[in-house]
Structure 1
Amino acid sequence: MDSYELLPHLDITPSGEICSKFLGMNIKTFQEACNYVHNLDYGYNSDTDDRWILFKELKGSCTPKHGVIAGLAEELQIPLYKNVGIYKFTEKIVKGAQKIIEKYKIPFIPMVHCFLEYNNYRFDLTEGNDNGKETSIEEFMHKEQVEPFISRKNEYLLYRRVLEEKLLLSPEFAGISLKIILKAREEAILLLHEKVKK
């Protein structure tokens, strides 16, 4: 991912609810807002569809962290967008993944991660957080621009669509059912939660 120094250098103006929230916290620039969100603990929230949950619980995974900043960018009319990417979840990314891969006899576990895109740059506000991953995610099999606060349901439907229309048609997953991939995904999510414990 790219350096935060490449993020837009702009003042926050009272252009919407998210702008007002940051201004009320004495955060006055877009970069300051990004740094604030990055520095919040990585953790899983109690309500992923509450757009204010990051501020209420002072922690978040990639979904609320990037949602808030993409929402701020939208209010400020900055062409910076949230993307949902699907990547190869392997032992290189998270220790313990190989056991799941072997159990279900699949080449890797397709998992979702989101990030920000601005011009040709990519930013991950969870990079360097204690997020359970051994390395940052740089390669995606599929990426798609989404609205800042895409619902958990719609993110899951996007994931299912990519599996059905792309991944399951690939030679790597020949003979492997959607049900098997979804079971492996469930175990991978539990593994990540165990690694984070926040």
Structure 2
Amino acid sequence: MKRCDWPSNELNIEYHDKEWGKPVYDDKILFEFLILEGMQAGLSWDIVLKRRETMRKAFDNFDPMILKDYDEDKVEQLMKNEGVIRHRLKLQALKINADCFLDVQKEYGSFSKYLWEFVDNNPIVNSIEKTEDLPVVSKEAETLSKSLRKRGFKFVGPTICYAYMQAMGLVNDHLNSCEFK
């Protein structure tokens, strides 16, 4: 099958083929990826994918109702876990982002409803010929980032938000030649 040319190993080929760019409306998955994209900041996505299952276990299955109660003792415990991304500020952001996520859910009824409004409830399908033409940010990602930061979220800059929007299918950036588009 013809796919985008950026997947370079079995793990990111599977991610590309089964997840990347597919519209997601499930709050549980949306929260997990919001955390994963923040964890990726400054690192390669391969590192995140390799540690995803370990982080899922260590971060209580990305359950915001549990993460909202994380304290400094939990952060210290996670800092000793070699299977997670051990960045203190990112680990401290687990609680902050869980609190903010739950606030958005309460206000909108779901995080999905809030999130999809940034693309008028329809995925943006870009026409991209080559990987080097993939955008790293958009006006929608900048608007989302600004809104999330105003609500108190951490590790949600415009580039992270754009990657998040790609991952969750708000933006479809598969190459035109990709059969997964």
Q: Which has the higher helix share?
A: 2
TM-score, normalised via structure 1 length:
0.26
Larger RCO (CA within 8 A; separation ≥ 6): 2
What TM-score, normalized by structure 2, do the two folds share?
A: 0.27
Greater strand proportion: 1
